[in-house]
A and B are shown apart, each in its own frame.
Chain A
């Protein structure tokens, strides 16, 4: 029975099925907000699911120049990494599958892993566009990983712990005292999450007007579907992490609170996406090193001072 319960946790809740469906729901929220900001009606709620089903039924092409093993294996691994990260997040009153002191680092590690896998995905597709996209993805990864991790570690410093559930409790107890530092860290982490997920304005690695589709150029059918699902799952993990550390509505509202805080995070990301145009790759790295990293370091220094 134990085995079955574990399998259920891995595959259904809070594992694969839940993360993927919630990710597709957040994609719809994102696209709808984007459409409303452009005065459009936008897609119906089932659009992301239909997109995914369609991709799974398309022809599966392996280009001659691609490495067939990596071409098949990497998209699945990418999705697996992102979904595994979610298993370590407590949410909506549930504790995570395997809570231990230091699970924050594990979640951040799996997020990093899926960005690195995106690099390999482009590299082994055998297309020059894929390789240029991969190199850009790595360049951006070096720039945005630092502020993201620093701003996520600010609450950890405030709470004096690396366990997400402990941070949540301490943050809720000292809400007003920690508020200025938390707001700064929240702003930095939202911006760098946008950069990390390669969304507009930081989507130079996937710039469709310059390099076709970056790392994803050669992928068709179900491989593309896996990569897209992995991106959605990364969005869920990123939004879930931020909502756990900064917006713990689920302390009062339970499951609903978790959904609300994730939607709030995605709302912030969509507003960013709708109001800016794409930056060039040198500008994105410059923004990170010039503004985001100093501010995240400032946040950490303030956190040390506030904690006393």
Chain B
């Protein structure tokens, strides 16, 4: 019973933080468009939070450049468990148009574990919402499964 309520609360109250690790900004504009009143993501309980400490889901856009790698890792470690990552845009999937640049490490999954990939250059807001909704189901399943999902516990970040 208690587990069910916890799982439901995880699913119904995802707070997202948004991080651009080196994209062209178009994906970020689409992410911003997603949280405008027109799409009303608060129906799903989604709220955009400034601090990664408050967030459950990290929305990552853009390829990971050599310089931003450390910051991305740090922000990821600052989030409390259980945490999930959504990669938004072709760049975040594979490096996209920046693939093979001397300073680009590739997609976000080269640096941190990614749960859901949303393709598109840039993806539309409805695609981003669909991606987040996929993560929500995953969150609920993980909360219900016995071993749960404590990938690693990081202290002192």
Contact = CB atoms under 8 A, between A and B. Distances in A.
Are the chains A and B members of one assembly?
A: yes
A53 B6 contact: yes
Best-surrounded residue of A39, A43, A216 (most CB of chain B within 10 A): A43
A217 B13 contact: no
Given A63-B157, A213-B50, A221-B80, A41 B43 contact: yes
A80 interface: no
Contacts of B80: 58-61, 220-221
A57 B53 contact: no
A59 B53 CA distance: 10
A212 interface: yes
A25 interface: no
A217 B53 contact: yes
Tell me the interface secondary structure of chain A in the complex. Answer: loop
Interface string B1-30: 000011011101100000000000000000
Interface in B39-64: 40, 42-43, 45, 49-51, 53-54, 56
Interface string B105-142: 00000000000000000000000000000000000000
A38 interface: yes
Interface in A59-101: 59-61, 63-64
Contact of B40 (A35, A57, A58, A221): A35
Contacts of A58: 56, 80-82
Contacts of A44: 43
Contact of A51 (B6, B13, B53, B81): B13
A46 B45 CA distance: 10
B49 A213 contact: yes
A60 B80 CA distance: 7
Contact of B42 (A35, A39, A59, A129): A35
A57 B80 CA distance: 10
A64 B156 contact: yes
A50 interface: yes
A47 B45 contact: yes
Interface centre among B13, B43, B82 (most CB of A within 10 A): B13
A212 B80 CA distance: 16
Contact of B50 (A63, A209, A224): A209
B146 interface: no
Contacts of A31: 42
Contact of A39 (B8, B37, B54, B81): B37
Contacts of A64: 156
B42 A57 contact: no
A46 B13 CA distance: 10
B9 A208 contact: no
Contacts of B6: 53-54, 57
Given A213-B50, A213-B54, A216-B51, A50 B8 contact: yes
A269 B148 CA distance: 41
30 contacts: A35-B40, A38-B37, A40-B37, A40-B43, A41-B43, A43-B43, A43-B45, A44-B43, A50-B8, A50-B9, A50-B13, A50-B45, A51-B45, A54-B10, A58-B82, A61-B80, A61-B155, A61-B157, A63-B157, A208-B51, A212-B50, A213-B51, A213-B53, A213-B54, A217-B51, A217-B53, A219-B53, A219-B54, A224-B53, A224-B54
Interface of A: 31, 35, 38-44, 46-47, 50-51, 53-54, 57-61, 63-64, 129, 208-209, 212-213, 216-221, 224
